[in-house]
Amino acid sequence: AVPLGSVLGVPLGTLVGQLAGWRTAFLLLGLLSLGTAAALLVFTPSLPPEESTRPTVLFGLLRRHGVRSGLIVTFLVVLAHFGTYTYLTPLLRDVVRPGLLSLYLLVYGVAGIAGTFLAGASRRPRLAFAVAAAAIAASVFVLPHAGAAGALAVLVVW
């Protein structure tokens, strides 16, 4: 859902914001969210759990070193990704023409979906995760210095 939202939502929201202002983009996305919530209530069947679990079982998983380490590393990578992503649009505004901003964000989203499928198909998930984390780190360092053409290449890698 996040990569698809990046592919469609970010560029479309940016385009609407550029054409009609950010308030209109927020209004349209709010209406879309309300419509989605209503559709979920009406069309989603009840899915009773096959078995229930207790919070103590879930917290017990945190005692396992591999689970705890995996959660911490995942948290840090996601924090770095979305923390930096917050500044992506302002940065791109400084290096690309306004008309290209939505296109750059669309390319970023499409590349993200492709990367998700490539990493998911990897026979070595630990290596795939490490490569993805390193690519995010490299992108964060390089993007502010990449210029217009370089920014597009960095977004594909990110």
| 46-64 pLDDT tens trace | 888 887 888 888 888 888 9
Please state, rounded to an integer, the average pLDDT across all residues of the chain.
Answer: 86
What is the mean predicted confidence (pLDDT) over 5-15? 79
pLDDT > 90? residue 42: yes
Give the pLDDT confidence of 76-99 residue by residue, as tens digits: 888 888 888 888 888 888 888 888
Q: Is 158 exposed, middle or buried (0-12, 13-18, 19+ CB in 10 A)?
A: buried
Return d(Cα 61, Cα 54) in angstroms, integer: 12
CA dihedral 9, 12, 14, 18 (to 10 degrees): -160
**How confident is the model at residue 20, as a pLDDT?**
93
* pTM across the whole model: 0.67
47: which residues sit within 8 A by CB, 6+ positions away?
A: none
Nearest by Cα to 62 from 80, 51, 75, 77 = 75
Rounded (10°) angle between helices 101-120 and 10-20: 170
pLDDT > 70? residue 3: no
- Identify the band that residue 71 occupies on the pLDDT scale cut at 50, 70 and 90: very high
Residue that the structure tokens 């360092």 belong to: 141
Return d(Cα 77, Cα 87) in angstroms, integer: 16
Return d(Cα 3, Cα 41) in angstroms, integer: 24
- Identify the band that residue 30 occupies on the pLDDT scale cut at 50, 70 and 90: very high
- Identify the band that residue 43 occupies on the pLDDT scale cut at 50, 70 and 90: very high
Domain residue ranges in the chain: 2-44+60-157
The token pair at 131 is: 């490569």
Return d(Cα 98, Cα 104) in angstroms, integer: 10
